[in-house]
Amino acid sequence: MSNPISSIPNLGPASEAAFAKAGIHTAEELRAIGADEGYRRLLDAGTQAHFIGYYVLHMALQGRPWNDCKGDEKKALRARFDAIKAERIGSKAQLRSELEAALQFFGVIEKPRA
């Protein structure tokens, strides 16, 4: 039996829609991949990066209230969030750079003038 994302406390219909757009359709799928991978997939699907959403997801998957994240735990999650965000922004920039190089090679777009 599969449960909707919104069956996880702290995650409602908006979260469910965002995860569906990212290809995650059940609470079981989300639990299996975990908060970090789930958040990566949200970013890849176009969700705007936001620290509160990231730590709310962590708290939700632990069965804790969203505002239970404090002190050193919150600082550690902030560092992980920043790393995931930087990784995703870097990978998109790299992909765009490689795509532009290929398009320039085939003459689809002009090479920038020096």
Is residue 9 in some structural domain? yes
Q: Are 63 and 10 in contact, with CB atoms under 8 Å apart?
A: no
Question: pLDDT for 20-37, tens place per residue?
Answer: 999 999 999 999 999 999
Q: Once rounded to an integer, what is the mean pLDDT over residues 37-58?
A: 92
pLDDT: is 67 or 88 the higher one? 67
Measuring CA to CA, which residue among 48, 14, 54 is closest to residue 34? 54
CA distance 88 to 104: 24
At residue 48, the pLDDT reads 86
Is residue 45 in some structural domain? yes
CA distance 39 to 55: 10
pTM of the model: 0.76
Is residue 114 in some structural domain? no
Q: Which residue has the tokens 């532009």?
A: 100
Range of the domain at 55: 5-105
Count: domains in the chain = 1
What CATH number did the domain enclosing 47 receive?
1.10.150.20
pLDDT: is 20 or 98 the higher one? 20
